[in-house]
Amino acid sequence: MSYRMSASDLRMGPGHFLTGLRNDDSLLRQVFFSILRHHHPNLAAKVDVIYALSQAWCTSQSDSDFELLVKYVSDLKPEERILVASSFSHMLNLHNLTEEVNSSQIGRAVRLGEMDSPTRDTNHSLLKLTTVNGLSPQQVYDSLCSQTVELVLTAHPTQALRASLLKKYAIVRRELDTLHSKRMSEYEKIETLESIRAAVQAAWRTDEIRRSKPTPQDEMRGGLAYFSTVIFDVVPVFHRRVDTALEKLGLPRLPLDRMLFKFGSWMGGDRDGNPNVTADTTRDVVVLARLEAVNAYFKQVEGLMFDLSMWRCSPELKELAQRIAAAESRDAVRVAEERKRRNYADFWAPIPATEPFRVVLSHMRDRLYNTRQVLHQCLIHPALSVRAALREAGAYEDAEDMARPLQLMYDSLVATGDESVAHARLLDLLRQIRTFGLSMMALDIRQESARHTEVMDAVTRYLGLGAYAGWDEGRRLAFLLEQLQGKRPLMPPGMDMSPEEREVVATFRMLSELPADSLGAYIISMAKTASDVLAVVLLQRETGVRPALRVVPLFETLDDLHNAPATISTLLANDWYRNHINGVQECMIGYSDSGKDAGRLAAAWALYETQEKLVAVAREYGVRLVLFHGRGGTVGRGGGPTHMAIRSQPAGTINGHLRVTVQGEIIEQQFGEKEVCFRTLDLYTSAVLEAALDPPPAPRAEWRALMGQLAADSCDTYRSVVYGTPDFYEYFMQSTAASELGRLNIGSRPSSRKQGGIETLRAIPWIFAWTQQRLHLPVWLGIGEALEAAFSKGHQPVLQDMYANWPFFTSTLDLVEMVLAKADARLSAFYERTLVEPRLAHLGERLRSLLANTQSNILIVVRKSALLEGNTPSQMSTPNLDEKIRLRSPYVAPLNVLQALSLRGLRRFREQGGDGVEYNPSDPEIIDLLSRDPKASRWRAAGAAAGGEGGAQQPQQPQHPYQAAMDDCLMITIKGIAAGMQNTG
Amino acid sequence: MSYRMSASDLRMGPGHFLTGLRNDDSLLRQVFFSILRHHHPNLAAKVDVIYALSQAWCTSQSDSDFELLVKYVSDLKPEERILVASSFSHMLNLHNLTEEVNSSQIGRAVRLGEMDSPTRDTNHSLLKLTTVNGLSPQQVYDSLCSQTVELVLTAHPTQALRASLLKKYAIVRRELDTLHSKRMSEYEKIETLESIRAAVQAAWRTDEIRRSKPTPQDEMRGGLAYFSTVIFDVVPVFHRRVDTALEKLGLPRLPLDRMLFKFGSWMGGDRDGNPNVTADTTRDVVVLARLEAVNAYFKQVEGLMFDLSMWRCSPELKELAQRIAAAESRDAVRVAEERKRRNYADFWAPIPATEPFRVVLSHMRDRLYNTRQVLHQCLIHPALSVRAALREAGAYEDAEDMARPLQLMYDSLVATGDESVAHARLLDLLRQIRTFGLSMMALDIRQESARHTEVMDAVTRYLGLGAYAGWDEGRRLAFLLEQLQGKRPLMPPGMDMSPEEREVVATFRMLSELPADSLGAYIISMAKTASDVLAVVLLQRETGVRPALRVVPLFETLDDLHNAPATISTLLANDWYRNHINGVQECMIGYSDSGKDAGRLAAAWALYETQEKLVAVAREYGVRLVLFHGRGGTVGRGGGPTHMAIRSQPAGTINGHLRVTVQGEIIEQQFGEKEVCFRTLDLYTSAVLEAALDPPPAPRAEWRALMGQLAADSCDTYRSVVYGTPDFYEYFMQSTAASELGRLNIGSRPSSRKQGGIETLRAIPWIFAWTQQRLHLPVWLGIGEALEAAFSKGHQPVLQDMYANWPFFTSTLDLVEMVLAKADARLSAFYERTLVEPRLAHLGERLRSLLANTQSNILIVVRKSALLEGNTPSQMSTPNLDEKIRLRSPYVAPLNVLQALSLRGLRRFREQGGDGVEYNPSDPEIIDLLSRDPKASRWRAAGAAAGGEGGAQQPQQPQHPYQAAMDDCLMITIKGIAAGMQNTG
């Protein structure tokens, strides 16, 4: 007697986080709408209709709905377009933070054990590795103790939101979170909602277009704020949590001198194509960062002075305390006077030796105060050499000076049986000192190889040795090695150079005066040959940079990547060089540029192979290779979920040591709040731990061959389309906002080198432009055809096998799939219909069919019938990803429509020089709206058009209101769409 | 068919807060014991037994149990006594904070509506007054808008705990509270408990005896910290909550310029019997307080710069912003440079006028920065005149300068429909400026009348006008009034005076150079006659104090109180004086001294009558009388529940304006945490509001007559015992620690004036000594007999009626009852048995029978069969009071036993000069324990015994270990018992 099964189909669990997401979403939307209605009632109704139409289209995907939406939006008056664009941009940002709140709700639920965790946290990994993989706890412990993750913060080239908007959204996020997690009385609830409303209101009334370019120091401050308000405090909390988890496994705590994290930064050190990062800039940021560190330690030491009020201590500490107390009591009056002058919060009078901890701590406080004074002087007097200034004033120059007495206190407390006091704030401080040192973070310097070649050229000419720039690689190498092994100075003082060359040399000199622990690596972008590296080694010696910075070549283009192994082995073949780097060579690989000229797949594969070859080359010479990963923000630039990214590295490239950049808006997402920062550290730690102990399987030979084939085919298609198709460039410039991007002062560096075709465009604007018009071409172009070719050779099952079992291939395709899920051919076609001359239209069709083709071929490989359908292991986050994308698209679509229309308006306006549009609002409210740009009133400057002027064309004075409106609308849509395309946590 | 009813007898409700109290209590006790066991296992067992024996006795009250306890404690070795005393002191403090945590749990439960509130909060009063008393909401609103509560913080004469212990207990309190109110994961719970353990451990290992006297500046800092960390932030939050409550009643918010609170301080201004409060001290504290205020505003302004980033504003604001922006852009480079120098967190570059709020705010930030610089200079250069320095540097001198632009922003936001932004941080800041001004608090100056008489005497002698000190009151008045109405200077420069006189004049000169808004009232302690007041008015004119401080006489002794009305009417009778005070005369009344020489009842009554007469005198001359109440910490010094204290004032003395001191450990209790501070503000507001709208009934004539009779009788008995009984003084000095109190450096002022009997003792040590030995004599002596006399005249029913319906009589008896509940005749008898010569023993019997007699007579009046049985309205706090006292007494009893034994040990040691005790520990651990006193190694000073040396006898060098042990033990028990006798919450 047989009967049929029926799966009851009402699963519970994370779904109610989905409703949680929806409730927050609708709460914030209500708040926003009630503010909108309050200020612009008639506009609110229009936004409502547009949202409804956009939603209808997003769900039905029918042409009629789309046309309805377009028609409605086109009827908006210029000033309405601005406000509508602004409304959707705000709603989108509000929606994004409900996603963030929702995921930290999930994080909390996981911690409180109310649900099992979707992503990996360290605790979970510890358990998994010991129970599932059958490793002994001791093995896991040893691996944990020998790993470090180095996070390098870089500027936000596309940081969309202004700091002040960021702050307001942070308030909304915090209050929303409080609403969920704290029990409050009716009044507290009312006041919380009022402050949410106040923040949203304030955000809405703020001009969201940044009207002036931020200086590198501004960027640096933004970055620094993350350290002082979040990272500095979370790192010890995280170490403590790891200790607790280790204890539960019966393992000892992390040893005191083993730190799981180190931090670096490019802000103020990265001068690649960024002329206003000068030697002084670098000095400023170093001083500022040290100031930040000193302030943070000052507070901790003052806190410890209250905590460690006990009189028992070890003999060593007693001896130190008495020495200090004796010295102070010799002239007690002067000491008390001085402390009064410094306006310390407490403990003016010299402290008696019966409180040994305080005696030592108050001495440390004085030295910290002095350190701060010196650094302050350095800020005021740019001529002061920082290193020298620190030495004279008895300031702290070396982190160990601070750690030693604290270590002594720690040992003393342990010796007298006061462990639990030792493991409180004192332990935190020791860990902070070992993580952040006195510099808070290590600053990397990045410069383009060509600039050093010019300097060398100027030198060899001056010395009459010929033109270095004209020598071939062989001769350069011989020359450089000869100089490096010799002792003769090369650069006579006061030799005449161009301003650019002088700036390069000035930077080197500056590096020689800055404290070494504030500096990280010297990165050569566009590194092509071994001489690029040796030139920098030589220049450092010539300018007296001691200890020299490790020189890290960054191989960016495909060609440079392909012969990176040869370049490195040339270097390592040289005995002098090998012991100069004493056994460690670091290389940086990022592929934004290689992605631009070969397409994503070829770039990813080139990257993968290069890493393997570099590892092999290094192993050949018995040198340890450190790979520095430049990870982009948006997927286009190599972003995407961290855990998966780490697992997909070839074996042997990470082994317990990860150095990676955190850029773009990722910083705000990963370090914006303590809760989020905690999770970030958790994620990296467990990812690296697992990569070390549970490494991914190595790829099989036939996979390699096939992958190589895919890379070659996709590259050919990519190039034939981008570089081989005549009028592709024209199509690109007409159908995207690429030409207007320059004016979007985001980030402190200009967007293109000189004039002419695609190859002159920098990778970031290239990718950004395609993201804006939703074709995302650079990510997928060529992949479809490469797969097709493979299918025709019957490799389909192999490809499916590769996807299922090779993390590299998995994550490469997943990222493309994720982008395809955000691509929208229909909207892209709309851009074309609105902006491109009909004679180029055939090109659009082709691109869209290539897109559709890529999509269906990828679906075959990943064995899905729809994009993102049902999760594979890497996109597992609740509520799942395509749900998130779907919740957002009704907000983004109207922004795309508005953008295309504004671009058309602006270009028509420029062509006909403005007649034909009679838009002359008289309502003062609107006039204000259109004149929020303070610069709109500067006078024509003299001289030829120079490159360094940041790309604004010559506006006629005063700007025509129609143009101002379309300009603002364009800027707002660009930010909005960027916010819509980013993928949160 | 009839049947009997039975009240089911299992009531629920606040009981589970009782268990809550018990659970916390036992949690902290476990933590403490596990630390004790960890460090001193054998001692822990002894503490356990002592606690058990003490508990047995506290519950059975039988002699046998008491003797068991005494015998066990007596067998302790000297070093064990120290540690046992310390253990109970710690357990007691830990227990006290579970009471505090418990009451803030109750506060939270009330707010979350989980239980109805035991005490009165404003919201509750608002509802009560509108619903119960049938007042219209508008009436209540008007009354609320016209009331102010001025809280004056004074030094802690008996602040028992050292700041560092306070900090650690604050950590325990906070973490314990978190344990209750936040949901946490298992790890978070482990880490919270670890940090509780770390704090308790650190507290236990800290030397709890303060080895050196705190300077007034130390006190000031302690006081200031409450402002910057708690009060400054809570005041606007409280105003906001009142707004929310008003709104719920459909009433408008509080008007912007009406503040419910003002703050004053005596720390650094009170030089009464405190020689090391000098003119410089006063200057320092004024500058420090202003520095604190500027720092607080600086942070708020920076926060506002992020919040107010909108571009729309009112024309007035736009005009101001453009003026500022224009001025700055004239030399933009210098401005940016300067801001860089100042190392501002953000916004270095001049801000464009399109962000009007920021332009104005960043200008305010600059001025605040300058103000800080100037004040800093004032700290460094004592010679700088603060007022002058502030004027030159374009610093903020007047709070309105800051309020005006902020008000402009507020109006602008309201005008553009951005109310909710206006009512966020901006509103808070406006309220902070109006509450704290630029001085944070107003400093009162307090000086003894005799010091001014000496100065006047020196002047009149010098001018050959005779000896002022010898003139009678009439002649002084004539002379002073003649001078005051004339214009001739009186004091020639450079006339020579004694150092004391010079100091008095120096103070006046200093006042003339300090900003007026940093100063409050000039209080004359021990004021007796009208000339005392006029002398100060004259001295202020002579030294150029403009605007002059209002002069407030403090009538302390009973006699001064009795003829205060006459004194005041003499003053007000004079036309010149009346318009000099332009219609407001402030008097201060506190009765610590009057309590000392007349007993509590007589003092309370004298106080009550004096207030009424003063009010009548003032009304007679059409002058508004302001009464400044000095409320003591412990009940002995007029403390006790606030609400009741306010209701018990005679009618017409408060009417919406309360000025009161907050002293002793009350500051920590009422302002230690934000949660607690919030409740304090809540309590005062609702108490004053109700006193104004629902005044207590006036007393009936026969009540007055009877009360007068009681006061007279109790006074006679009190005096006949204290002053009339020969060898009462001897009994006092033998049975209490009075003579050893001097050495307890608590508080910066010496404890007695010169040598000889009771009347030379200051009120505080007198009361403190009796509190320590649990007889609490000054509070109840004489009341029993007075009541008895009244009973014999058949006034018992009247007395019961007075208690039931006259708040003054209710609260007076309640306070006495509360103290009696803490008194313990048995322990007091133990002190006698241990310390007093048998020939004085009969006196003890008498005192204890007077105590028993007072107790039973009070019980008759309050109609109870046992002290504190079942609550009357004034002691209503859950869990109720006698429960609290009972939970504490097992901790306090052993401390009393230890104290009596230590006193005996010390006195015997002194009499026999140390031989006969061979206590010579060799264990280094113990030697350390006994040498924690850094001063124990000073050499013999030359010359006669001078007053300023604070009462320690000449210790032989080096201190004998037995003496050191008993000394420490004594000090610790004194602190412990003080902690046990204080009443929290």
Buried b or exposed e, range A904-921, using 16+ CB within 10 angstroms: ebbeebeeeeeeebebeb
Where a domain ends, among A413, A435, A457?
Answer: A435
Give the Cα separation of A214 and A747 in Å (integer): 7
Residue among A39, A341, A353 whose CB faces B417 most closely: A39
Residue of B nearest to A199 (CA): B421
Q: Which of B547, B544, B532, B619 is nearest to B584 (CA)?
A: B619
What residues in B contact A164, CB-CB < 8 Å?
Answer: 306, 309
Helix, coil or strand: residue A587: strand
Is B531 inside any structural domain? no
Is B37 inside any structural domain? yes
Contact B337, A203 (CB under 8 A): no
Q: In B723-879, which residue ranges form alpha helices assigned H by DSSP?
A: 728-735, 738-741, 763-772, 777-780, 783-792, 796-805, 807-822, 825-835, 841-861
Q: How far is B164 from chain A (nearest CA, A)?
A: 5
Give the Cα separation of A951 and A750 in Å (integer): 7
Where a domain ends, among A217, A240, A261?
Answer: A217
CA A361 to chain CA centroid, Å, is 37
Where a domain ends, among B398, B419, B435?
Answer: B435
Q: So what's the ipTM on this one?
A: 0.51
Contact A456, A536 (CB under 8 A): no
Which amino acid type is present at position B755?
Q
Q: Which of B168, B191, B418, B926 to mutate to test the interface with A (most CBs of A within 10 A)?
A: B418
Contact B420 A928 (CB under 8 A): no
Contact A354 B207 (CB under 8 A): yes
Contact A291, A375 (CB under 8 A): yes
Is B635 inside any structural domain? no
Each as own residue / partner, the long-range contacts of residues B477-486 (CB below 8 Å, 24 or more positions apart, any chain) are B477/B530, B477/B531, B477/B534, B477/B570, B480/B531, B480/B534, B480/B535, B480/B537, B480/B538, B481/B534, B481/B574, B481/B576, B483/B538, B484/B534, B484/B537, B484/B538, B484/B541, B484/B576, B484/B580, B485/B576
Give the Cα separation of A725 and A840 in Å (integer): 11
Is B49 inside any structural domain? yes
Contact B418 A182 (CB under 8 A): no
Among the listed ranges A109-123, A233-247, B266-280, B921-935, which one has the minimum average pLDDT value? A109-123
Residue among A198, A379, A421 whose CB faces B424 most closely: A198
For chain B, the first-to-last Cα distance in angstroms comes to 51
Give the Cα separation of B795 and B223 in Å (integer): 48
Residue of B nearest to A200 (CA): B421
Angle in degrees, CA A934, A747, A950, rounded to 5? 60
Q: Which of B358, B372, B420 to mutate to test the interface with A (most CBs of A within 10 A)?
A: B420
Output the pTM of the full model: 0.59
Question: pLDDT, tens digit, for every residue of B205-253?
Answer: 777 766 666 666 666 767 777 777 788 888 887 887 777 777 766 777 7
Q: How far is A1 from chain B (nearest CA, A)?
A: 50
Contact A424 B195 (CB under 8 A): yes
Which of A558 and B396 is assigned the larger pLDDT? Answer: B396
Q: How far is A887 from chain B (nearest CA, A)?
A: 29
Considering the domain architecture, whether residues A184 and A330 belong to the same structural domain is answered as no
Enumerate residues 6+ apart whose C-beta is below 8 A from A815.
A635, A640, A779
Token pair for residue A155? 């500027």
Among the listed residues B90, B95, B168, B596, the single catalytic one is B596
What residues in B contact A112, CB-CB < 8 Å?
Answer: 183-185
Say whether A156 is catalytic.
Answer: yes
Say whether B596 is catalytic.
Answer: yes
Q: How far is B271 from chain A (nearest CA, A)?
A: 22
Residue of B nearest to A291 (CA): B343
Contact A38 B417 (CB under 8 A): yes
| B752-764: average pLDDT | 58
Peptide bond into A921 cis (omega under 30): no
Considering the domain architecture, whether residues B950 and B835 belong to the same structural domain is answered as yes
**What's the domain count of chain A?**
3
Q: How far is B619 from chain A (nearest CA, A)?
A: 43
Give the Cα separation of B895 and B887 in Å (integer): 15
pLDDT of residue A835: 83
Question: pLDDT, tens digit, for every residue of A365-410?
Answer: 888 888 887 887 777 777 777 777 777 777 787 888 888 888 888 8
pLDDT of residue A938: 42
Among A414-423, A521-530, B600-609, B805-814, which range has the highest average pLDDT?
A521-530
Residue among B38, B217, B341 whose CB faces A379 most closely: B341
Residue among B113, B376, B421 whose CB faces A202 most closely: B421
Buried b or exposed e, range A285-299, using 16+ CB within 10 angstroms: bbbbbbbbbbbbbbe
- Within 10 angstroms of residue B452's Cβ, the number of other Cβ atoms is 23
Considering the domain architecture, whether residues B290 and B211 belong to the same structural domain is answered as no
Give the Cα separation of A690 and A85 in Å (integer): 45
What residues in A contact B423, CB-CB < 8 Å?
Answer: 194, 198
Considering the domain architecture, whether residues B827 and B965 belong to the same structural domain is answered as yes
Considering the domain architecture, whether residues A188 and A326 belong to the same structural domain is answered as no
Tell me the pLDDT of chain B averaged across its residues: 74
Give the Cα separation of B189 and A138 in Å (integer): 26
Contact B368, B298 (CB under 8 A): yes
CA dist list (Å): A471 to A84, B361, B690:
59, 59, 95
| B968-975: average pLDDT | 80
Token pair for residue A194? 């009022």
Q: Which of A306, A342, A410 to mutate to test the interface with B (most CBs of B within 10 A)?
A: A306
Considering the domain architecture, whether residues A308 and A200 belong to the same structural domain is answered as no
Considering the domain architecture, whether residues B797 and B905 belong to the same structural domain is answered as yes
What residues in B contact A416, CB-CB < 8 Å?
Answer: 205
Contact A310 B205 (CB under 8 A): yes
Contact A211 B345 (CB under 8 A): no
Give the Cα separation of A353 and B818 in Å (integer): 44
Q: Which of B742, B734, B733 is nearest to B947 (CA)?
A: B742
- Within 10 angstroms of residue B417's Cβ, the number of other Cβ atoms is 15
Going by the DSSP 8-state scheme, the letter that residue A424 receives in this structure is I
What residues in A contact B223, CB-CB < 8 Å?
Answer: none
CATH code at B353? 1.20.1440.90
Residue of A nearest to B416 (CA): A39
What residues in B contact A294, CB-CB < 8 Å?
Answer: none
What residues in A contact B113, CB-CB < 8 Å?
Answer: 185-186
What residues in B contact A113, CB-CB < 8 Å?
Answer: 185-186
* Structural element, H or E, at residue B128: none
Strands A519-525 and A261-265: unpaired
Domain that holds residue A19: 7-138+165-217
Q: Which of A242, A291, A420, A935 to mutate to test the interface with B (most CBs of B within 10 A)?
A: A420
Q: How far is A447 from chain B (nearest CA, A)?
A: 27
Q: How far is A422 from chain B (nearest CA, A)?
A: 8
Is A649 inside any structural domain? no
Contact A112 B184 (CB under 8 A): yes
Structure-token match 């409900």, residue found:
A98
Is B357 inside any structural domain? yes
Token pair for residue B254? 């509080």
Token pair for residue B379? 């700290």
pLDDT of residue A878: 43
Please list the residues that pair with A262 across neighbouring strands.
Answer: A150
Contact B113 A38 (CB under 8 A): no
Helix, coil or strand: residue A553: strand
As a whole-number percent, the residues of chain B with pLDDT over 90 amount to 0
What residues in A contact B417, CB-CB < 8 Å?
Answer: 38-39
Give the Cα separation of A79 and A962 in Å (integer): 9
Q: How far is B481 from chain A (nearest CA, A)?
A: 44
Put residue A916 in one of left, alpha, beta given phi > 0 → left and psi -120 to 50 → alpha. Answer: left
Token pair for residue A833? 């219909």
Is B348 inside any structural domain? yes
Residue of A nearest to B240 (CA): A191
pLDDT of residue A110: 57
What residues in B contact A108, CB-CB < 8 Å?
Answer: 185
As a whole-number percent, the residues of chain A with pLDDT over 90 amount to 0
* Structural element, H or E, at residue B745: none
Considering the domain architecture, whether residues B199 and B293 belong to the same structural domain is answered as no
Considering the domain architecture, whether residues A212 and A289 belong to the same structural domain is answered as no
- DSSP one-letter string for B388-447: HHHHHTT---SHHHHHHHHHHHHHHHHHTT-HHHIIIIIHHHHHHHHHHTTTSSEEEEEE
Rounded average pLDDT per 10-residue block, chain A, 985 residues = 34 45 65 74 75 74 77 80 81 75 62 50 57 65 79 66 70 71 63 74 72 66 76 81 72 78 83 77 83 83 79 79 76 70 68 78 83 79 76 77 84 78 82 85 85 83 80 83 77 74 82 84 84 86 82 80 82 82 80 70 80 81 79 50 66 73 73 75 77 73 82 82 79 78 52 53 73 82 83 81 78 79 81 82 82 81 71 45 69 84 80 69 72 52 39 48 78 78 56
Contact A181 B186 (CB under 8 A): no
What residues in A contact B340, CB-CB < 8 Å?
Answer: 379
Considering the domain architecture, whether residues B88 and B196 belong to the same structural domain is answered as yes
Contact B535, B456 (CB under 8 A): yes
Helix, coil or strand: residue A579: helix
Give the Cα separation of A418 and B198 in Å (integer): 8
Among the listed residues B46, B156, B452, B795, the single catalytic one is B156
Contact A352, B211 (CB under 8 A): yes
Residue among A182, A348, A354 whose CB faces B934 most closely: A354
Among the listed residues A46, A156, A239, A613, the single catalytic one is A156
Contact B352 A164 (CB under 8 A): no
Predicted confidence (pLDDT) at residue B754 exceeds the cutoff of 50:
no
Instruction: Tell me how far apart the 2 most distant CA atoms of chain A are, in Å.
Output: 102
Contact B215 A424 (CB under 8 A): no
What residues in B contact A163, CB-CB < 8 Å?
Answer: 306, 346
Considering the domain architecture, whether residues B307 and B204 belong to the same structural domain is answered as no
Q: Which of A104, A184, A311 to mutate to test the interface with B (most CBs of B within 10 A)?
A: A311
Give the Cα separation of A53 and A69 in Å (integer): 6
For chain A, the first-to-last Cα distance in angstroms comes to 51
Contact B869, B855 (CB under 8 A): no
Which amino acid type is present at position A927?
I
Structure-token match 């910057």, residue found:
B228
Is A396 inside any structural domain? yes
Considering the domain architecture, whether residues A289 and A212 belong to the same structural domain is answered as no
Predicted confidence (pLDDT) at residue B82 exceeds the cutoff of 50:
yes
Q: Which of B261, B205, B179, B278 is nearest to B660 (CA)?
A: B261
Count CB pairs under 8 A between chains A and B.
181
Question: pLDDT, tens digit, for every residue of B614-670?
Answer: 888 888 888 888 877 776 554 444 445 566 666 677 766 667 777 887 777 677 777
Among the listed residues A46, A262, A596, A884, the single catalytic one is A596
